[in-house]
Amino acid sequence: MKNNLKSSSMKKIIFISLIFIIILGISVLAGNVKLRNVNIKFSNNHEITVLTAKTKIADILEENHIVLEENETVTPALDSEITNTNEIVITLKGNEPVKIAENVSTQIDKEQILDDYTNITEKIETIIEEIPFETITKDVSNGSATTRNAIIQSGQNGERKVTYKVTYKDDVEILREELSSEVIKEPVDKIVQIQTKSIITSRGSYSRTSGVSGQSGVYKVTAYCACMQCCGKTNGITASGAKATANHTIAAPSTFAFGTKVVINGITYTVEDRGGAIQGNRIDIYMNSHAEALAWGVRYVEVEVLN
């Protein structure tokens, strides 16, 4: 009886020992298996994350029942091992991500960095830039077959003050960044009016002759400004009492009444001034400066008188 009890006890001890050894072996085996989270991106932009002990791309896809279509490819390749990024990308053929060779060093040469930034300078520059004027055309001809263009208002460019941060490398500009801008002079639009061109006859409302004072024709046209040399005064007040204005005021003989409109080179002027030398077929155009008046000089041009 005692022998039977001893034998039973030994069997229990052996059984428990075997179970302990099996559990210990499983624990050791599990400890040697590395599990990782792998992110899988599909060609339709869908993503999943799986937990796996596999390392080969084909095995990981098979384990998760993922089958590539004929027009799809995978990065890394099916026969490759998973990389440290733990990422598998499935894309349509032709859209594969650019591969970077793993054996290429990502270390940037220190001397190359220093060379890239050698002779790099930045300067703050403020300049005056022109703002181009616009041309506005107004048609008042009412569909007439014969028209002419009359400049009602001359255009003038505006100005703006712009501050830039300019980057130079070896004195060559490589970047220009606008910091601020301020309009210091608004542009003035040029206004062109399309008018009906009247038929000129000896009795019409328009008359044209070869330079007869007071009528249309070719005139000797000079220019002047509001300076002592031109006028003997500098206040710019005309004989009619009006303030002389460029592209508007002309001096003409007394055969032209004040307020008479004349067209010279497409610009409509108004007779507002007289002059001792302005006689016969002579007209003087008012300019903003003496330099402009000198630049005009003496010209013989056709003048159309609007009576």
Vertex 76: Cα angle to 73 and 82 (nearest 5): 140
Q: Which of 12-26, 59-73, 222-236 has the lowest mean pLDDT?
A: 12-26
Same fold, 113-192 and 198-306: no
Picking from 58-72, 147-161, 166-180, 255-269, which range would have the lowest pLDDT averaged per residue? 147-161
Mean pLDDT of the chain: 81
Coil, strand or helix: which one is 4? helix
> What is the CATH topology of the domain spanning 36-92?
Ubiquitin-like (UB roll) (3.10.20)
Q: What are phi and psi of 85, to 5 degrees?
A: -75, -15
E strands, the chain, where?
36-41, 47-52, 72-75, 87-92, 120-131, 135-139, 147-153, 158-169, 172-185, 190-196, 217-224, 249-251, 261-264, 267-273, 282-286, 299-306
The per-residue pLDDT for range 131-172, each reduced to its tens digit, is 999 888 888 777 777 887 877 777 889 999 999 999 988 888
Q: What is the per-residue pLDDT for 191?
A: 83
Instruction: Quote the CA–CA distance of 159 and 184 in Å, as a whole number.
Output: 6
- C-alpha distances (whole Å) from 141 to each of 7, 146, 264, 273 are 130, 8, 19, 30
Which tops the pLDDT comparison, 110 or 272?
Answer: 272
Is residue 155 within 8 A of residue 135, CB to CB? The reply is: yes
pLDDT surpassing 90 at residue 26: no
- Distance, in Å, from the CA atom of 170 to the CA atom of 178, rounded to the nearest integer, reads 21
Pick the CATH number of 113-192 from 2.20.230.10, 3.40.50.10470, 2.130.10.10, 3.40.50.300: 2.20.230.10
What's the CATH number of domain 198-306, 2.40.40.10, 3.40.50.300, 3.40.630.20, 3.20.20.70? 2.40.40.10
**Count of residues in the chain:** 307
Percent of the chain with pLDDT over 70: 78
* All structural domains of the chain with their residue ranges: 36-92, 113-192, 198-306
